[in-house]
Structure 1
Amino acid sequence: MSPESSGLARAIRLSLLLAVAAPAVSLPAAAQEAPGEEARTLDTVQVTGTRIRRAELEGQVPVHTVSRQDIERTGLTSIGDVIQQLTGSGSALNTKFNSSGNFGFPPDGSGVGAGSAQVDLRHLGSKRVLVLVDGIRWVNESSASGVGASTDLNTIPLAIVDRIEVLEDGASSLYGSDAIAGVVNIITRRDFDGAQVTLDYGQFSEGDGTSKGIDLAWGRTTDRSSLFLSLSHTDQDVVYARDREQSRFPVPGTGVALGSSGIPAGRFIVTDPNTGATLDLVPDATGPAYDPAQTGCDRSDGFHCFTDDDRFNFAEYNLLMTPSKRSGAFGQFRFQISPGLQWYAKALVNRRESTNQAAPEPIFLGPEGATGNPFADEITISALNPYNPFGFDLVSGESLILIGRRPLEGGARVFEQKVDTRYVNTGLEGSFQAGDSLWFWDVNLAWSRNEARQTNHGSYNIRNIALALGDPAACAAEPGCVPLDIFGAGSITPEMLGWIQPVVRDESENELRLVSANLSGDLFNLPAGAVGFAAGLEYREYEGWYQPDPLTVRGWYNGVPSLPTSGSYDVGEAYVELDVPIFGEGALGKGLNLNLAGRYSDYSTFGGEFTPKYGLRWQVSEDFLLRATYAEGFRAPSIGELYGSDSRFDAQLIDPCSEPFLDPSVESNCRTLGVPPGFQQANPQISITTGGNRELEPERARSFSTGFVWSPWFATNASWAERLDLEVTFYRHDIQGPIQALSAQTQLDLCVRTLSPDYCDGIGRASTGGINAFNNRLTNLGSIKTDGWDVDLYWTLPETRAGRFAFTWQNTFVGRYEAVGGAGQLQPRRPGIEVEDSAIPEWASTASLDWSRQAWNASWTARHVSDLIEDCGNAVSFPVCSDPANGQNRLGSTTYHDVQAGYRFDWQQGLTLTAGVNNVFEKEPPICLSCSLNGYDASTYDIPGGRFWYLRADLRF
């Protein structure tokens, strides 16, 4: 049987099973529900982290709830930005990442995610976090450049959110794949009477980055129905890197010395076939006349020798904040068919329009260009080209080593995304009495699609460039071809641009279809109490594709190459959960419960997988709770990881065989690899080829957490505290066979150090010694292990004439993070280290003080990130590197202060005016020398010079 037919068979079987299950649980609802029985449901709750509906199960697992009040206190307009401020969050994409055109394609086939906002928990990556909306899976993103494995939280309007529940624990047994690091469950607003208009306006103190928003909400609730409708629009303006001192240069404190070798006038490394002299030249002006007699740098022929002063400052074209417009409409309707039966329907449409910008696209030609494109790497520039000043053919690998020309004439690269999300969810919910137990059931159908289109202005057609630089006769034979002049700044005319500069259009799509059924109640009674039970079935179908521009598919695109991707798979699942009371109130405390859960998943791509979970909840006393969980989990390979076709990303790599970085201990190995003495790396930006792997296995994980919740009796309704809660949790995650590619820099270093084919296969070098091929594929590597502590304090003070105060202090301490490759090589990420544009702080902390008195309210929040260490890299010789003796730079600890105040007017149903300032003291982020863009880590810190003030008006009527 083919995979397609076997998947269809599974779908039919599971659909029939669900069809049988739904009536089986719904029939008793009408037959046995008493008219007043609905009131009993008020004593039960559904919390993230368990499927059993019981009020006393709150606190079974560590769940952090972000209320709507918490959200409004941040002054932020994106769910992703709100969650990224949690102390347990790691590095993830947000609108401060100007990613298009700079990073290329990640190995997992997801694309660059330009303009999206993602969530990372425990620093395990956004694709290991499951995002739910009202307990139902949300569709993964499509970035217009790949098939994503993560959720773009910018597809969910913040206006529809009632609260966010974040489970920072493994939960595959309850929710299936992707819930290795945790679950984010976004609960939408439901019961709402009247109308609400909310206006937001904010701006950075420098006068840029203006944010404007309007939210409209209307609802009506009756005895049998509720309707909620929402319209929202958010407009975030751009912030340019050139407008912040820290981000004006590629690496702060180094000027253009570490800028690009692709420069407006052009860098030409050539070997004169007549004299044998190798020269590294830059034209002084357009139309230089090469003099072969001038073999040194003292020249008068319109050229000079290349120096670091010639390097190009690409940073001034970058964006610190990418512009984004988000518009959404959401509706939710619920109707009580009978006292024990309810029908619901939800629908959402959302449009995101965002823009990324990069410096004018460089054109690298010759073997040292290392683009991986034969039109560029194997080019011949004809001596007959009317603009060739050298008088001889520039033959790649012979007379031509490298050309780096950046045409400012073509303008910056601008990437415009339009991302549309559609979502429909409907189902039935009910309850029925069976003996002494009240049972709850639900059946759900959901369909969601995320589709993205990206338009790229400012890139080039490398095939047309090669033709226009070659034999003029060949160019003349091609309709529209115009000979090209790349020899000097400003040499490219509009007619030449018309031949070499296209508009590139890419698109992609992700689609999710699912059906699920759940049942929960008490099975029977034990001496210590009732045994709670939950069970369910779920069937999901995933489909995704990515279609690059035909120019890219043909291999004619000068930028990052890629090929189409498409794939699909389905999964059928069944789960069961039990909550077993071991003992009740007695000498050992108030009660001990054992929680057991297991889920079986049958994937069309790799077969079956069973994941169990075990939990203990010991209520030692009224005010002290001990809890512990152990869970096994997995993450199935995504469509991009399985089916992603060949693509490329560009990495800044230091070649260990290059002077001045050459270590004498590996010099002989460099010679074995074909690197000549005195070799200096001409271009540190190396093109890395990557792609999917259909032989991937699922990632498998073990998660453990333990801790306590203490609400001391002496701090309850006392003179100094209305309530005091202390939560302490230890967590540990162990992932085996994580799906990722070995760090490119690590692979290169190990190749040079060991000469092992495990690392050197796929790394090619030109005859000049430079890297001209680098294959870095996805695989199941060794392991990722991390552990740490969460320590949270919640203190609510009694109300006095001065008002009511509440204090919250949340902390995460990371004790270990260790990633190991398949052959045992330790990866560079670990606590206290900044590497690869992300950090794992050893301590992250947020403290908030809230005050309210009659119509007034105010808050103060402090956000703290502990210090970090990074490798200075090629900036080690600059004063900005704080510890050059050890080649390290210290990123000092950083604390941001945010304040907010508001007043509620008694007009209509209430008019609330709020004003706030984030980063009151304009704390600058620490300088990051290893970060790819803008001189700081955009996932860990606020924007440089980033005092942000905002106003909000909220009218209810």
Structure 2
Amino acid sequence: MLFALIPAAVAAQDAPAEDEVKTLDRIEVTGTRIKTSEAEGLVPVQRITREDIDRSGLTSVADIIQSLTGSGSALNTKFNSSGNFGFPPDGSGVGAGSAQADLRHLGSKRVLVLVDGVRWVNEASASGVGSSTDLNTIPLAIIERIEVLEDGASSLYGSDAIAGVINIITRKDFEGISVNAQYGQYGEGDGATSSIDLAWGGSTDRANFFLGLSYTDQEVIYSRDREQSSFPVPGTGVAFGSSGTPTGRFIFVDPNTGEVLDITPNNGASDPTYDGSQIGCVRTDDYHCFSTADRFNFSQYNLLLTPSERMGAFGQVRFEFSDAVSGYAKVLYNRRESTNQAAPEPLFLGPEAGTGNPLADNIFISALNPYNPFGFDLDSATNLILIGRRPVEGGARVFEQDVDTWYVGAGLEGVFDAGQRTLYWDVNMAFSENKAEQTNYGSYNIRNIALALGDPAACAAVAGCTPLNIFGGPGTITPAMLAWIQPIVRDESQNELALFTANLSGSLFDLPAGSVDFAAGLEHRRLEGWYQPDALTIAGDYNGVPSLPTSGKYDVSELFFELNFPLLQDTEIGQKLDFTVAGRYSDYSTGISEFTPKYGLRFQLVEELVLRASYAEGFRAPSIGELFGSASRFDAQLNDPCDTPLLNPSLAGNCAALGVPANYQQPNPQISVTTGGNDQLDPESSTSFSAGFIWSPGFLEDSAWAERVDFEVTYYRHEIEGAIQAIDAQTQLDLCVQTLDALYCDGITRAPTGGINGFNNRLTNLGTIDTDGWDVDLFWVFPATDFGQFKASWRNTFVGDYRAVGAAGQVQPQGPGIEVVDSAIPEWTSNFTLDFKRGNFDAAWTLRHISELREECGRAVGFPVCSNPATGTNVLEAITYNDLQLGYRFEDYKDLRIAVGVNNVFDEDPPICLSCSLNGYDASTYDIPGGRFWYLRADIKF
């Protein structure tokens, strides 16, 4: 109803005489609060225009941001996260189905997202309280352009702007109706993506309005449909599969003989002729010794591209009440429905299970259980070591997310004269909410499992309890058994943001080189978030990843100022030299108080050369999840250094000191790691420095070679102190075994059998993160000829250094040219685009280059897929993607434009990643799932 009334209200206003309307020629750009007509070039800002968005063939804001050369690894719809990643230490939840942005490889929670200069709400993941923004909450249809500030900006925008700012500018001055429709799919005939956007705008002399509707549907791609992702680790078969198999793996001590058995039913081997002689273990019963051949290939059930359906509606109206005062109101609603899927949930029981759930780790299976074939009790306290059974009868784990986002904002802005000077003011209020619900099908109730495996008399005393058969292999778990052990699990969470801002800017006084401009203001924000897991999870009965509720809120009040001093104007040493200084004081209800300054210089030596530099201090306050997140768990793929054969034989003594017996073999590489918030966290602090130049050589301007050429070079450096994170779990485990130091070993416990059965990995102010590098960009507009006109843009980012160090000096594994923990820091990323226009015809060719990466082969070192087994490293070869789009505009048909495009023209597959936790790909660095993606796009305007 609001959308229908806005145009009518606008049209009903009386139009003033044309000469009464006052046009404001001053603008505000991202990176400064001072409204000025000369703001360009003050700070390094990358602008993504509407034309750039349409040319990409992409249908998500996050996909566009993640394709930038300065972007790092972040969640997107290619991460099949639920059921596999568990809960991250920061309490944000797994973010299933969301799409985030990372700048400078500093993490998505250190990137501030604005919409029209106003903070956007953080995501609710339905598994925690998020500290990052889900860009899928912002429809592409409403965007006029995107401005990316790759510089620290806490003094201007407050917390979270350590790595930079993404400012999404919405459409305002839009006339008429436009419809954009696109359909595309991969060359293999799957992963179809369709979208349709409707934009409607109009104006009178006093007002304008804009309405945008958006719908996007992205269909699923299964891992089994791509050869590279059809096994847990590409090129290794089932060697790295799960020991939780449909037939079951049983490790126990036979009380009759004292023999340690590690057996599985004979029908479990992948080779039907397998009888155990291949590994020197022949049995005369229905079992054989468990070996690699019996492991389960869970990848067949995973998703490469998760299905995601998004619907959004946005409306805004702007009205000039007088020549000096105008106002606006805007509202947005967005809904995402997405799905993740994982293999049928395994049951790991016994002290080597390492789940952290006592109901599973201390399981007791009665000899009276009618399906127990061994004739004696299997007791975790005496003879049971591990049972791994995957009930495929219960189907895959399916996680369905429904995420709703609301945003309502209103404000007034205007100008007034103070003596001979004009001042600009604005006040704004906004409320936004992101609420997510997740429904999990295919998980299990471990308390009911324990009862169904125990004494049948105890089971019979409980209504609905049915004895469970985990011994009989696939098909032996009946519907009645499933009805007792398999619930539907529902979780939900919510993030809210309410804010008020007031700003004033203008000119203070004159200096010989010009006027001193200023901006000042205040901001008050209230943030509140909560996470409510299913009652089954709270009770500790959930077989999957356990977690507890989270709830918290805080307020922050801030004052800021910004001043620009002109130091030189038209002198012998240069045309113009400006010095800027900014500062913000923030006072949090949690007891944090911070002042962050920023200083900048802009020196225009001559018309064609500008030098600029800035230094900023920043901070990031702990998020609600980081402060108040309750104990939860994520399941990490960890290589125990004490696993036999030892990769480092010199550690044998240390392993023995930790209670690991000789010849110990790690039965399950999936180790449960406990995480949680810390209300004693301090804020992160940072310093950022950038320096560079913009050169537009005059001898090329309007020449035979070019209409205009711009060459930009920027050096950046970010240093973060007290970074909030947990030490990398594999690093902590390695250091514990190497040093036996309590600093690393405290919180890691082992069962009497040697396996890890407890791993505490909590948040702390870890240490430092330092990174630096260069952005080198070239923009070339060629002269227009009878043949047409070319434009070229070439953007490059070179990462010079990246070093993360823990509070005790432990070096984290990330670094330039390294792939680790499902993320990469390429030393060089490059995007080159060549545009061509001739009349109504246009074309664009884009090359996207990612330099070579290296990773540890780990246990895959003995397989041919490890490119350098001598050093235990694997090389992910450099890759260059080619994208092509051709378009034609039919002016006689409502300005209809038809475009056809192909991304990844030459069908490049992403390099194999041995260290990535799923699917053999790095889902945030490379095009997934590989192969060509073609699309057809139609734009029409009325």
> Where on the TM-score scale, by shorter chain, does this alignment land: which range?
over 0.9
Distance of 1:902 and 1:40 partners within structure 2 = 36
Paired position in structure 1 for 2:754? 769
Measure, in 2, the Cα distance between the counterparts of 1:944 and 1:634.
37
Which of the residues 276, 279, 301 maps onto 1:317? 301
Match of 2:222 in 1: 240
1:891 equivalent in alignment to 2:873: no
- Asked if 2 retains the 8 angstrom alpha-carbon contact of 1:34 and 1:339, the reply is no
Please show how residues 150-161 of structure 1 align to structure 2 within 5 Å. 150-161=132-143
2:338 to 342, 354, 365: 354
Q: Residue 713 of structure 1 aligns to a residue in which SS?
A: coil
Aligned AA (2:248): G
Q: Would the aligned equivalents of 2:827 and 2:851 in 1 still touch at CA under 8 Å?
A: yes
C-alpha distance in 1 between matches for 2:362 and 2:880 = 52
Aligned to 2:117: 135
Given candidates 188, 196, 202, the residue that maps to 1:220 is: 202
Alignment of 1:351-390 (within 5 A): 351-390=335-374
Q: Could you say which residue in structure 2 is the equivalent of 1:282?
A: 264
How far apart are residue 283 of structure 1 and its match? 1.3
Matches within 5 A, 1:759-798: 759-798=744-783
User: 2:701 maps to what in 1?
Assistant: 716
Rounded Cα–Cα distance in structure 2 between residues aligned with 1:745 and 1:309: 26
Correspondence 1:41 to 2:24: yes
Given the alignment, which residue of 94, 97, 122 partners 1:115? 97
| Match in the other structure for 2:403 | 419
1:752 matched to 2:734? The reply is: no
| Secondary structure of residue in 2 paired with 1:671 | helix
SS at match of 1:669: helix
Q: CA deviation at 1:55?
A: 1.8
CA distance in 2: counterparts of 1:473 and 1:796, whole angstroms: 83
- 1:715 positional shift: 1.5
Shift of 1:221: 1.0
How far apart are residue 720 of structure 1 and its match? 1.3
- List aligned pairs for 1:783-862, cutoff 5 A: 783-862=768-847
2:382 aligns with one of 398, 415, 423? 398
The residue type paired with residue 306 of structure 2 is: T
Amino acid corresponding to residue 580 of structure 1 in structure 2: F
Match of 1:584 in 2: 569
Rate the CA distance shift 1:665–1:439 in 2: closer, same or farther, 3 A. same
1:628 paired to 2:628: no
The letter of the residue matching 2:401 is: Q
Q: Kindly indicate whether the alpha-carbon contact (under 8 Å) linking 1:270 and 1:394 is maintained by their aligned counterparts in 2.
A: yes
Deviation at 1:433, TM superposition (A): 2.2
Instruction: State the distance in 2 between where 1:871 and 1:141 align.
Output: 33
Post-superposition shift, 1:34? 13
What residue number does 2:273 align with?
none
Deviations, residues 265-285 of structure 1 (Å, cap 9, x unaligned) = 000011101100001100125
Report the counterpart of residue 394 of structure 2 in structure 1: 410
Over the matched positions of the two proteins, sequence identity in percent amounts to: 69
Equivalent residue, structure 1, for 2:432: 448
AA matched with 2:533: P
Q: Distance in 2 between matches of 1:163 and 1:660?
A: 56
> What residue number does 2:275 align with?
none
Aligned counterpart in structure 2 of residue 436 of structure 1, from 402, 405, 420: 420
- 1:541 maps to what in 2? 526
TM-score normalised according to structure 2 size:
0.96
Q: Is the 8 A contact 2:691 2:714 kept in 1?
A: yes
Aligned residue in 1 for 2:165: 183
8 A contact 2:22–2:324 mirrored in 1 = no
- Correspondence list, 1:707-746, <5 A: 707-746=692-731
Q: Which moved more, 1:142-151 or 1:193-202?
A: 193-202
Q: Which residue of 2 aligns with 1:307?
A: 291
The question of whether the paired residues in 2 share the 8 Å contact of 1:741 and 1:776 is answered with yes
Determine the C-alpha separation between the residues in 2 that align with 1:837 and 1:246: 16
The separation in 2 between residues aligned to 1:224 and 1:360, in whole angstroms, is: 61
CA–CA distance in structure 1, aligned partners of residues 767 and 17 of structure 2: 57
Following TM superposition, where does structure 1 have runs of at least 4 consecutive aligned residues deviating by more than 4 angstroms? 33-40
Q: Which residue identity is paired with 2:554?
A: Y
Contact 2:28 2:39 in 1 (8 A): no
SS in structure 1 opposite 2:352? helix
Q: Equivalent residue of 1:714, what SS?
A: coil
1:80 aligns with 2:62: yes
Moved more, 537-546 or 660-669: 660-669
> What's the secondary structure of 2:178's corresponding residue?
strand
**For residues 738-783 of structure 1, what are the alpha-carbon distances to aligned partners after superposition, in whole Å with 9 as ceiling and x for unaligned?**
0000000111111111111111111000000000000000000110
Residue 886 of structure 2 corresponds to 901
Residues 819-861 of structure 1, C-alpha deviations (whole Å, 9 max, x = no match): 0001001100000000000000000000000001111000000
Q: 1:561 aligns with which of 527, 530, 546?
A: 546
**Counterparts of 1:681 and 1:617, CA distance in 2:** 60
SS of the equivalent of 1:913 reads strand
Distance 1:920 1:672 in 2: 56
Residue 37 of structure 1 and its aligned partner are, at CA, apart by: 8.1
Q: Is the 8 A contact 2:415 2:425 kept in 1?
A: yes
Which 10-residue stretch deviates more, 430-439 or 580-589? Answer: 430-439
- Which shifted more, 732-741 or 900-909? 900-909
> 1:593-621: CA deviations, max 9, x gaps?
00000000001113210000000000010
Equivalent residue for 2:485, pick from 492, 500, 509: 500
Give the deviation of 1:884 after TM superposition. Answer: 0.2
**How many angstroms apart in 1 are the aligned matches of 2:116 and 2:549?**
34
Contact residue 246 and residue 944 of structure 1 kept, 8 A:
no
Aligned AA for 1:313? Answer: N
Partner of 2:7: none
SS at match of 2:448: helix
Residue in 2 aligned with 1:23?
Answer: none
| 1:518 aligns to 2:503 (yes or no) | yes
How many Å separate the matches in 2 of 1:79 and 1:196? 20
Instruction: Describe the SS at the equivalent of 2:625.
Output: helix
TM-score (structure 1 length as normaliser) = 0.95
- Counterpart position of 1:552: 537
1:872 to 847, 857, 864: 857
Q: Which residue of 2 aligns with 1:703?
A: 688
Partner of 1:290: none
SS in structure 1 of the partner of residue 744 of structure 2: helix
Question: Aligned partner of 1:795: which letter?
Answer: W
Match of 1:598 in 2: 583
Residues 129-175 of structure 1 show CA distances to partners (whole Å, capped at 9, x for unaligned) of 00000000000000000000000000000110000000000000000
The residue matched to 1:480 in structure 2 has which SS?
coil
Amino acid at match of 2:458: A
Partner residue, 1:6: none
CA drift at 1:662: 4.8
- Which residue in 1 is equivalent to 2:13? none
- Work out the CA distance in 2 between the residues paired with 1:594 and 1:296: 78
Secondary structure of residue in 1 paired with 2:51: helix
Q: What RMSD in Å do the two structures reach over aligned CA positions?
A: 1.3
Q: In 1, distance between residues paired with 2:83 and 2:595?
A: 41
- CA distance in structure 1 between the partners assigned to 2:534 and 2:18 by the alignment: 61
- Asked if the contact 1:371–1:772 (Cα under 8 Å) also holds between the matched residues in 2, the reply is yes
Q: Distance in 1 between matches of 2:267 and 2:367?
A: 20
Deviation, 1:909, is 3.7
* Residues paired across the two proteins, number: 916
What residue number does 2:867 align with?
A: 882
Residues of 2 paired with 1:451 and 1:280: CA distance? 47
Deviation at 1:436, TM superposition (A): 3.1
Q: Is residue 167 of structure 1 aligned with residue 152 of structure 2?
A: no
What residue number does 1:8 align with?
A: none
Seen in structure 2, the aligned counterparts of structure 1 residues 34 and 694 have a Cα distance that, compared at 3 Å, is farther
Q: In structure 2, the residue corresponding to 1:499 is in which secondary structure? A: helix
Give the letter for the 1:556 counterpart: D
What is the CA distance between 1:38 and its match in structure 2?
A: 5.7
Shift of residue 501 of structure 1?
Answer: 0.4
Matched AA of 2:337: E
Q: State the 1:490 CA deviation.
A: 2.0
Shift in Å, 1:458: 0.5
For 2:937, the equivalent position in structure 1 comes to 952
